[in-house]
Amino acid sequence: MSMWILLGIVSALGSALVIIFDKRGTRYIDSAVLGLIQSVSILLVLLAVQLYANGWAIFKGLDWDSAPYILAGSLCTGISYVCYYLIITYTSATRASALQQLAVVFSIYLAMVFLGEDASWLSLIGSLFIVTGMGFMVL
């Protein structure tokens, strides 16, 4: 098994536990505070990994051409996180997770628009399955 698959599985397991514990945590604490604590912990760990792997060269490779994309990607991540911490207080963990799966569907169509990537028919049909399955779980 490739290393990235194993890392990906552990990452998915970690993400799943986050949704479960976030849902449980919102019984005791406001979702905004929850999000703040989570973001600080992620930022610290990411900074540690970045410093360990690349030293202080966080900006290495960054140029004016890529800066707008980094800013746009970060803004989109921020909006997505803020919405996530709001929905986790309103609905169940499985429904919140099902809605998150739409991100992959959006990414395929947005990659076609912004990056000019081709999507196979299998991917497009797969995205329809995901939307239908999400509808079953959410509605």
Partner 1 sequence: MKLFSQEKIWIPLGITAAFFAGLSMVFDSITASKISGAGVGVFNVALTLIMLIGVFLYKSSSIERTIEKEAIPFLAVSALCNAVGTVLYYIVMDYASVSDAAAVDQLTLIFVFVFAVIVLGEKITVKSVAGSVLLLIGMVMMMY
**Of 14-53, which residues contact partner 1 (CB under 8 A)?**
14-25, 27-30, 32-47, 49-50, 53
Q: How far is CA 71 from CA 24, 34, 66, 78, 85, in A?
A: 32, 24, 9, 10, 21
Q: Check residue 4 for interaction with partner 1 (CB under 8 A).
A: yes
Q: Is 1 in the site for partner 1 (CB under 8 A)?
A: no
Please give the residues from 119 up to 138 whose contact with partner 1 meets the rule CB under 8 A: 122-123, 125-138
Q: Which of 64, 115, 116, 118 binds partner 1 (CB under 8 A)?
A: 115
| CA R_g for the chain | 18
At its nearest, how many Å lie between partner 1 and the CB of residue 116? 11
Q: How many residues bind partner 1 (CB under 8 A)?
A: 113
Q: How far apart are CA 133 and CA 95, in angstroms?
A: 11
Residues 47, 41: Cα–Cα separation, whole Å = 10
Burial tier of 17 (Cβ tally within 10 Å: 0-12, 13-18, 19+): exposed
**CA 132 vs CA 18, 128, 135: distances in Å:** 25, 6, 5
Please identify which residue in 1, 55, 56, 61 interacts with partner 1, judged by CB under 8 A: 61
Q: Which x/- pattern over 72-111 shows residues binding partner 1 (rule: CB under 8 A)?
A: xxxxxxxxxxxxxxxx--xxxxxxxxxxxxxxxxxxxxxx
Alpha-carbon torsion, ordered 72, 96, 22, 5, to 10 deg:
-70
* Beta carbon of residue 1, minimum distance to partner 1 (angstroms, whole number): 11
Verify binding: residue 64, partner 1, rule CB under 8 A.
no
Binder to partner 1 among 1, 55, 63, 116 (CB under 8 A)?
Answer: 63
